[in-house]
Each structure stands twice: as C-alpha cells, then as structure tokens.
Structure 1
Amino acid sequence: MKLIKAVRTREEGYEEAGRYVVNQSDVLIALWDEETSRGKGSTAEVVEYTHERSKSIFWILTKGEISVKEISVEGLLSSAFRQTDTFNRASISKYLLQQEVSTREEVFQAIAEHVGATLPSLGAMCAWFLPFYARADLLASRYQRRYYTIGTAIFLITAAAVGIVVIHGLLGHPSNSILK
C-alpha cells in the first residue's frame, strides 16, 4: 500500500487521491453528472486533470439516462487500439485457419492423453480458444516471414552497395584502374 503525501483538509486529500489515480492509470473511468467543480478533488477536477495529462478516459454520464458521454483514447492506448484493430482486420484463409485449428487440437489431445489427463471439457475449451490461438499463430508466422524477408533484402542491398563501391573504386577512375 502506498501512502500519498500528508494533507491538511479533506478536499486536499480528495485532490491528491484523484491525481494519484490518474497518474497510476492508463484509463480513467469517470462516473460524472457534469456538475461544475464543488471544490478540490471533485470529479470535474479529476476529469480536467485527466485531459491535461492526455490520458485515456471513459466518461459515463450519470445525469438523466445513463450513457457514455466521452471515450478518449489518447496517448498510449490509441496506439494499442490501432494495433489491435490492424490485427483484427488481417485476413486469414478459412481453410488455412481450420487446418491450423485441427492440427492444434490434435496436439492438445495428444498431450492430454500422454499426461493421463481426463478433461471432459477439453473439446469445448479447444473449440472456444483454438480459433483465436491459431489465428494469432498464423499471423505471427506471416509477420515473422515479412520481417525476415525485409531483413534479407536490406542485407542484400547493403552487400550490393558495398560491391558497387568496390568495383567503382577499382574500375571507375583511370588512375585506379587495374586494366592499365
């Protein structure tokens, strides 16, 4: 448990607690009625402090019909959401995915049999999580191939550039020519 600095009034304590929560969080979930600040440490001040720090906030309006007033995903979370969205939009062949799921299911069944585990729910668990696991594995393999392909291309381009410089150095200038 971490203690925040000593304060003189209850309002200062609320203010310190609010700032501490914002500083330690990636996302603030604020239940707020949109009322103006009623002193230090009010929800209005905490929401304002969150905006000042460019932190992500889910603001749920509690006045009248409860609704989500604001969803701000600035800073670190916006990048994470973009990456997740890119991952979710990537296409995988249904045939390839089903093949990977079947292969992984066989592996899990073999492991369960090998260790003598009797899991009546193994089939249900596999049906639930294996499509996600197989999709992530296939995409990881795809991105790994791209990474290695780009790395190899960069290496070959670098080697070609060095070779060109050497050839130019040997043959390019008449005084350095080996063909005299």
Structure 2
Amino acid sequence: MALPFNKLVIASGNTGKIREIQHILAPLNIDIVAQTELNVPECEEPFCTFIENALAKARHACKHTGLPALADDSGLCVNALGGAPGVYSARYAGKNPPNSLLTQDERNNDKLLQVMQNIPERHAYFYCVMVLVRHAEDPQPLIAEGMWQGVILREFRGSGGFGYDPLFLDAKTDKTVAELPLEIKSRISHR
C-alpha cells in the first residue's frame, strides 16, 4: 500500500504502545518516529471519549512537527465496572508518587485487582481508537477503532507487554496478553 507521505510521527510517549505500533506498521516501509524523539510535549487528554483524545493527540503532534501523525487512545473497559477504567486506564490509580517503588502500570493493576476483588463477572475488553491526520487542521482525519474481548484474571500471568497485559486473558488463546509474543498480539489485538 502506497502512502502519500514517507515519514509519520507516533503521537504518544508510551514506549510499549510505540513499540507495538512500529511493529504493526513496519511493512509500510515509511520512517516512523516517536514524538518524544522530536521533543513534542505530551498532549493533555481532557476529554471523556477515546475519539476526542486521539484526535487531540494527533493534531497536537502535527502542530509541533509539521509531519503527518498517528495517535492511539486506548484503554481497558471492564463490564462490571461500567466501562472503567476506560479513558482513564493509564492513570486509573492516580498519578504515580515520585518516591513510589511501583510503576504506574503496577499501581493501576493493583487497583484493578482490589476493586474487582469480590466481583465474579470479569468480562472486559480493550478498546482502541487510532486517528491519522495529514496536517494539524486536517478536515478529514482517518479514524479507526478496534476491540479485543477477554476476561480479567485474579492474579498476574506472563512477563511481556505493558499496562494491563498480565491480567487480561484472551479467550481464544487462553493466554494473557503478557504471555503472547508480539507477532501474535499484533495480529489479534485491538490495534
């Protein structure tokens, strides 16, 4: 597939997400660069929908770089929690204190396990919105969405991935996302 550009900025500071997107887009043969490499400041995510946040991030990266940008806003939605953590997935446990011995991902996972401790219904899904804009004022952004169904385990399994990967069990493979090789995750995930 030929694209009308040869360089694309990924509008994210999340290294796990960037690695996955770069892997997925590798066959396109374009120069893919993370916004952090171009000193783009993080974009605020003030909106309550994935689409609005992804669009804001894509436009923000375009504005700062002059390059086409691809943004991903995604999160874990737990049915029994009314869709939470949802758009707040990355900051579910609040901002990580400077002296914390745990990573933000570990704190988020611990909070999820605590909140779901006595909840038998554990169905959940990862939801992703990807937005591609050619320039900051692009009137026709390309918007795509994906979903990945699974269940939340009661304990961690696997050491790969990031975020909620060690708790999210894919029903088709009977493995957590943290147990899946990147090649398989890239084929079946919400991205």
TM-score between the two structures when normalised by the length of structure 1:
0.22
| Greater strand share, structure number | 2
TM-score between the two structures when normalised by the length of structure 2:
0.21
- Higher RCO (Cα < 8 Å, 6 or more apart): 2
